[in-house]
A and B are shown apart, each in its own frame.
Chain A
Amino acid sequence: MKIKFKIRRYNPVDTEASEPYIQAYMCEVPEGMTVLEALLKIADEQDPTLSFRKSCRSAICGSCAVSINGFSKLACNTQVIPEFKKAGEMLIEPLANHTPLKDLIVDFVPFWRKMEKVSPYLTPAEGESAPAVTPEDEERVDRSQRCIMCGCCNAECNSLAIDENFIAPAALAKAWRIVGDVREGNARRRLHRLSEEHGMWDCVRCVHCTQYCPKDVAPLKAIEELRSSAMKEGITDNPGAKHVEAMRDSVERFGRLDEAAMTFKTLGFLRSLGMIPFGLRMEKHGKLPRPHIFAQIEELDEVKKIYEESERRAKEEKRELASRKKGW
């Protein structure tokens, strides 16, 4: 099957075309051929100036993530014909949320810097003998350690798109790999740092990272684990945790979410004043939540029961962990 590949080309030092443009290549594609194989064929037979990263061609080295028809994917792991049939075209561009350097090659330096920022290595507690890792301990971090650092999650991240300083899902998945490790000795300190601005609470939970991860790492799951661990540790002096607490309190008191009150509880009175212009713009678009007139739902005691039960479970969990720690 002959398929037209539209590839975004870019070479900043090309005097004739220093702006990005789309170049088309016709390529004969046999059944089973992957996008990476097609790119290699195009580079070998038609245009050796085409630049892209690649290495293992078996979805484990993480080199070849690109945008295929608008979505971040590994070129080596995507078959051309089914993709072409589904999308009706074959448009290949550099990963989003990353600065293109040449053709499909993007600047990965920010990605590595974010990785480094979470101190991505185990720091066992000093002087204690390391606990044995059980199959359950392994299970807990297993998905996060499948990460191949391809950058698909960061490329699809909505928070990173508006804040380049956001730590972003890939590094957060790595952070959970370490924090969630039963042998880690500095989890609390790490959670404190992750709770700072541009940290884990800046995720808006759009689920893109999990949706586009080619290795089933589920970074959002890791982010939720991190947030939950931080709150259990009592690290709540930040807008993210306060927001969650406000939600919890609202549901506990009224049985429902009082959206109008959330801003004050999350940001405090003074910082909420600064949100007034934003609130006015929301109002203009009919988006400003109204306070409830009858805030409380009827069967509030049922909600109370749920709260009691979850608190009892949390205590149990804590006791179990403490008794395990004693055994080490």
Chain B
Amino acid sequence: MVIHDIVIIGGGLAGMRAAIEASRAGLDAAIVSKIYPVRSHSVAAQGGINAALKDTDSWENHAFDTVKGSDYLGDQDAIELLCKEAPFDIMELEKMGAIFSRDPEGRIAQRPFGGAGYPRTCYLADRTGHALLHVMYEQLVKHEVVLYDEWHVVKVVVEDGTARGVIALELSTGKLHRLHSKAVLIATGGYGRVFRTTTNALSSTGDGMGLALDAGAELMDMEFVQFHPTVLKRTGILMTEGCRGEGGYLLNSKGERFMSRYAPKVQELASRDVVSRAEQTEIEEGRGVDGCVLLDLRHLGADKINRKLPQIRSLAINFAGVDPVEKPIPVKPGAHYSMGGIRTDFDGATTVPGLYAAGECACVSVHGANRLGGNSLLEAIVFGRRAGIGVSNFSESNGLLPFPATALKEAAFEVADITKRDSGESPAALREEMAGVMEAHSGIFRDRTRLTDGLRKLRDIRERFKGVALTDRGDYYNNELLQVIELAQMLKISEAILLGAVEREESRGSHFRTDFPLRNDKDWMKHTLVSLKDGEMKLGYKAVTVTKFQPQERKY
């Protein structure tokens, strides 16, 4: 057994940012991650990170755009924090070593993004997440943070209501280990892989949200899944919102810029839920091109594309066989981001003492029913830092409580329960089936029948999952075992998404019910809470915090 002050699960932007803060506080923090930190999916964030930096902008404007983008479901006190602290964090990132793209005067350049009333998205070409993740990794090396990479956490250990550490599977050997700590922070990112078409990495399986549920914490607003409007058809690979920020058009089969009918004022730069629904409508009404719409960058010219969107050009060439300098790129909506997640306060604390969460897996909530582009990297940095301080304070004022003697044995028993089965369904096939159900029943347009059917199918998969069997009987890098453990969590997450979606009888942000097409502020200005009691999911609700901005009709 190893002992650390703090165990952080996940080595993406939020997890590393938190680890650095803990390290600065003189604490011994360790990161446990199923992939090496620079492989984390923060690396794929393309477009940028928002902050009101210029005199002609203000954090209040940023906050208003975020609240409006959230369709008034975001907690406004949390959003205020996010927007107020953003400029500080941008400066700190530069101090750490990041270089944001410059304008001709040498100041940090900012580009327009969807749903924002001001060009406030800082960027490094179209590799912003990559730049920030690598800078954070540099700081991790500088602070000599202990890493357990390619270790997968199978359990957050909770005793008498407080977190005591984790049990993790060392993927290279198949051994289970105990990591004993004063506090645990979950920063495992999103769950995009529960959907078939997703921009998310193969490793974005939402593990931490499942771990948190098991540990007794609550998930919040899980029915809100962001579908990004511009992903490649077959692979789901992301084409950044920066494409439209830099002036790209969306065209239907008739060559029309159809967004003028859905968002007359800002057209392609409406917020993501609005654009995705518009695209889906065009496709479903027969104005699509082979199940897609077209992202046209040709008028930007080769020079601008090469300077501002070089990665997009090579992704389009390598993965869709289209050079955007010459031809429009076929794109469609795909699952992209989880607005919901583990319920936390502003300092990352969950409802379980000693258990913290930050980043995409957490829900503070700053994104409400729909996240604005450029706000996710920001959330990971601001709340990664804040949670780092929060978890440090907790572990400084609380001693190391005993690690339950039976925890390892229980976890080993659970793993053995999977590995000992002689025959059963293939976990890969079951995973595909789940992703298909979620895509068909919990997509952009939802209604009660579709959702309840989906829930029924999903529960059937959940039952059958208890009988899956492994082909791989080895200990070394048993990827199939990892997949089964991931699938168990994904099934829980899927159920939470569907449950929340069935009950929320209104349309708000990314959650659109064709049987309840309007927003209902009278009954639904509240967050959905999901918790696990005796193996069954329970729903609850919590009022939204409104400070400066009263709900009004949302038009772009």
Interface of A toward B, CB cutoff 8 Å: 11-14, 32, 34, 37, 40, 43-45, 47-51, 53-63, 77, 79, 101-103, 105, 108, 112, 115-116, 119-122, 124, 130, 132-135, 137-138, 141, 145-149, 178, 181, 183
Contacts and interface: CB of A to CB of B under 8 A. Distances in A.
Contact of A121 (B94, B127, B139, B172): B139
Nearest to A51: B477
Given A32-B234, A135-B104, A14 B474 contact: yes
A138 B202 contact: no
Contact of A134 (B41, B106, B141): B106
A61 B41 contact: yes
A293 B104 CA distance: 57
A11 B475 CA distance: 10
A120 B137 CA distance: 9
A132 B106 CA distance: 7
B309 to A, nearest CB: 14
Contacts of A50: 479
Q: List 10 tightest A-B contacts by C-beta distance, closest first.
A: A122-B97, A121-B138, A44-B428, A51-B477, A48-B480, A49-B472, A121-B142, A48-B471, A61-B39, A56-B201
B163 to A, nearest CB: 27
B44 A130 contact: no
Interface stretch (B280-288, B313-321, B334-342, B514-522): B313-321
A49 B99 contact: no
A128 to B, nearest CB: 13
Contacts of B428: 43-45, 48
A135 B106 contact: yes
Nearest to A101: B172
B43 A49 contact: no
A56 B102 CA distance: 28
B88 interface: no
Interface residues of B, number: 55
Contacts of A49: 471-472, 474, 480
Nearest to A109: B149
A44 B39 CA distance: 22
Contact of A62 (B39, B127, B235): B39
Contacts of B202: 40, 54-57
A55 B203 contact: yes
B318 A77 contact: yes
Given A13-B476, A120-B141, A108 B315 contact: no
B393 interface: no
Given A44-B428, A120-B138, A148 B130 contact: yes
Interface string B217-253: 0000000000000000011011000000000000000
B102 A134 contact: yes
A145 B99 contact: yes
A interface majority secondary structure: loop
B141 A121 contact: yes
Contacts of B314: 59
B39 A55 contact: yes
8 contacts: A48-B427, A48-B471, A61-B44, A63-B35, A116-B141, A121-B142, A122-B138, A145-B99
Contacts of B172: 101-102
Contact of A48 (B94, B99, B321, B470): B470
Nearest to B431: A44
B218 to A, nearest CB: 29
A181 B101 CA distance: 14
Interface in B133-159: 134, 138-139, 141-142
Interface string B407-438: 00000000000000000001111001000000
Nearest to A44: B428
Given A48-B471, A102-B477, A149 B141 contact: no
A149 B39 CA distance: 9
Contact of B134 (A37, A53, A141, A145): A145
B38 interface: yes
A188 to B, nearest CB: 18
A57 B235 contact: yes
Contacts of A149: 38
B234 A63 contact: no
A130 B141 contact: no
Contacts of B35: 53, 55, 61, 63
A138 B99 contact: yes
A181 B479 CA distance: 40
A54 B527 CA distance: 35
B261 interface: no
Contacts of B475: 13
Contacts of A148: 38, 43, 130
B474 A32 contact: no
Contacts of B131: 145
Contacts of B426: 44, 48
B243 to A, nearest CB: 15
A131 to B, nearest CB: 10
Contact of B97 (A58, A115, A181): A181
A216 to B, nearest CB: 9
A50 B471 CA distance: 10
B162 interface: no
A112 B321 CA distance: 34
Contacts of B429: 44
Nearest to A123: B142
A60 B142 contact: no
Nearest to B139: A121
Contacts of A47: 471
B237 A57 contact: yes
Interface in B93-148: 94-97, 99, 101-102, 104, 106, 127, 130-131, 134, 138-139, 141-142
A104 B470 CA distance: 20
Contacts of A134: 102, 106
Nearest to A120: B138
Given A62-B39, A63-B39, 12 more contacts: A48-B426, A48-B471, A48-B480, A51-B478, A53-B35, A60-B43, A61-B40, A61-B41, A102-B476, A121-B96, A145-B131, A181-B97
Given A101-B172, A102-B477, A62 B41 contact: no
A256 B480 CA distance: 63
B141 A57 contact: no
A51 B318 contact: no
B95 A115 contact: no
A197 B94 CA distance: 33
A32 B232 CA distance: 12
B474 A13 contact: yes
A120 B314 CA distance: 28
A56 B311 CA distance: 14
